Chain A
Amino acid sequence: MTDAPGAAPAEPVTIMSAPIRLDFDVAAGAAASRFLKGIAQRRILGQRCPVCRKVYVPPRGSCPIHGVPTDQEVEVGPRGTVTTFCVVNIAFSDLAPEIPYVCAQVLLDGADIAFFGLIAEVPAKEVRMGMRVETVWADEVIADQRSIKWFKPTGEPDAAYETYKDYI
Chain B
Amino acid sequence: MSDEFVAHHVLEFPGGYKRSLGPVISRFLTCLRDGRIEGVKLADGRVLVPPTEYDPVTSEPAGDPVEVGPGGVVTTWTWIASPRPKHPLDRPFAWALIRLDGADTAMLHAVDTGSAAAMATGMRVTPRWRAERVGHVKDIECFVPEGKS
Residue numbers of A with Cβ under 8 A of B are: 1, 6, 8-9, 11-30, 32-33, 36, 143
Closest residue of B by beta carbon distance from A26: B7
Assembly CA distance A30 to B2 (angstroms): 10
Contacts of B30 in A (CB 8 A): 8-9, 11-13
By DSSP majority rule, is chain A's interface helix, strand, loop, or mixed?
mixed
7 A-B pairs within 8 Å (CB atoms) are namely A13-B135, A14-B20, A21-B13, A27-B5, A27-B6, A32-B5, A33-B3
> B29 touching A26 by the CB < 8 A rule?
no
Closest residue of B by beta carbon distance from A143: B5
> A13 touching B33 by the CB < 8 A rule?
yes
> A25 touching B6 by the CB < 8 A rule?
yes
- B101 interfacial by beta-carbon distance below 8 Å: no
Give 16 new A-B contacts, CB below 8 A, not counting A9-B30, A17-B15. Answer: A8-B27, A11-B30, A13-B26, A14-B21, A15-B19, A16-B21, A16-B135, A19-B17, A19-B86, A23-B10, A24-B9, A26-B7, A28-B3, A28-B5, A30-B1, A36-B5
- B46 interfacial by beta-carbon distance below 8 Å: no
Closest chain A CB from B14 CB (angstroms): 9
Contacts of A13 in B (CB 8 A): 21, 26, 29-30, 33, 134-135
Contacts of B86 in A (CB 8 A): 19
Assembly CA distance A6 to B136 (angstroms): 20
Q: Out of B18, B19, B31, which one reaches A9, CB within 8 Å?
A: B31
